Amino acid sequence: MGMRGIHTSINDIRKKVFAEVARLSYAYDGDLSDMENIPYRIIPGEVSTYRESVFLERAIVKERMRLAMGLPLRDVTEHAPVSQGAQECVHPEKYYQPPLINIIKFACHKCPDNQVVITDQCQGCLAQPCRQVCPRDAIYFEHGQAHIDRNHCIRCGKCMGVCQYGVILRMERPCAVACGMKAIRSDEYGRADIDQEKCVSCGMCLANCPFGAIADKAQIFQCIQAIRSGIPVYAAIAPAIAGQFGAAGTPERMRAAFRQLGFADVVEVAIGADLCTLQEARDFLSEVPQRLPFMGTSCCPAWSVMAKREFPQQADCISMALTPMVLTGRLIKKENPGCKVAFIGPCAAKKLEASRKSIRSDVDFVLTFEEVMGMFEARNVDFTTLQEMPVPSSASADGRGFSISGGVAQAVVNCARQLAPDREVPVERAEGLNDCRKMLMRAKAGKLNGYLLEGMACPGGCIGGAGTVQLIPKAAQEVEKVKKLSERAHAYESSYQSILPALEE
Q: What is the pLDDT of residues 238-253, one digit of tens each?
A: 999 999 999 999 999 9
Fold agreement (115-171, 222-497) = no
The C-alpha atoms of residue 500 and residue 505 are separated, in whole angstroms, by 9
Report yes or no: 106 and 56 within 8 Å, Cβ to Cβ. Answer: yes
Largest CA-CA distance found in the chain, in angstroms, rounded = 79
pLDDT at 155: 95
Burial degree of 121 (CB within 10 A; 0-12, 13-18, 19+): exposed
Average pLDDT of the chain is 94
The C-alpha atoms of residue 207 and residue 14 are separated, in whole angstroms, by 12
Say whether pLDDT at 94 is over 80: no
Say whether pLDDT at 128 is over 90: yes
The C-alpha atoms of residue 399 and residue 486 are separated, in whole angstroms, by 10
Top-confidence residue, 137 or 496: 137
Helix/strand/coil for 181: coil
Report residue 382 CA to chain centroid gap.
26
- The percent of residues above 70 in pLDDT, for the chain, comes to 99
pLDDT at 293: 96
Say whether pLDDT at 1 is over 70: no
Segment 260-270 shows an average pLDDT of: 97
Domain ranges of the chain: 9-108+178-221, 115-171, 222-497
The C-alpha atoms of residue 293 and residue 287 are separated, in whole angstroms, by 8
Segment 57-86 shows an average pLDDT of: 91
The C-alpha atoms of residue 464 and residue 371 are separated, in whole angstroms, by 16
| Cα dist from 418 to 3, 275, 402, 415, whole Å | 41, 15, 19, 5
Q: For the structural domain made of 115-171, what CATH number should be given? A: 3.30.70.20
DSSP 78: S
Q: What is the pLDDT of residues 387-410, one digit of tens each?
A: 999 887 789 999 999 999 999 999
Q: What is the pLDDT of residues 327-339, one digit of tens each?
A: 999 999 999 999 9
Q: What confidence category does residue 2 fall into, taking pLDDT thresholds of 50, 70 and 90?
A: low
Q: What is the pLDDT of residues 351-384, one digit of tens each?
A: 999 988 888 889 999 999 999 999 999 999 999 9
DSSP structure string for 207-225: HH-TT--EEE---HHHHHH
Report yes or no: 472 and 447 within 8 Å, Cβ to Cβ. Answer: no
Q: What is the pLDDT of residues 150-166, one digit of tens each?
A: 999 999 999 999 999 99
Say whether pLDDT at 110 is over 60: yes
DSSP structure string for 428-469: EEEESHHHHHHHHHHHHTTTTTT-EEEEESSTTSGGG-TT--
DSSP structure string for 356-369: STTTTTT--EEEEH
The C-alpha atoms of residue 56 and residue 70 are separated, in whole angstroms, by 22
pLDDT at 89: 77
The C-alpha atoms of residue 58 and residue 217 are separated, in whole angstroms, by 18
Say whether pLDDT at 467 is over 80: yes
Report residue 131 CA to chain centroid gap.
43
pLDDT at 498: 86
CATH 3.40.950.10 correct for 222-497: yes
**pTM, rounded to two decimals:** 0.94
The C-alpha atoms of residue 267 and residue 272 are separated, in whole angstroms, by 10
| Cα dist from 326 to 158, 299, 353, whole Å | 50, 10, 9
Q: What confidence category does residue 264 fall into, taking pLDDT thresholds of 50, 70 and 90?
A: very high
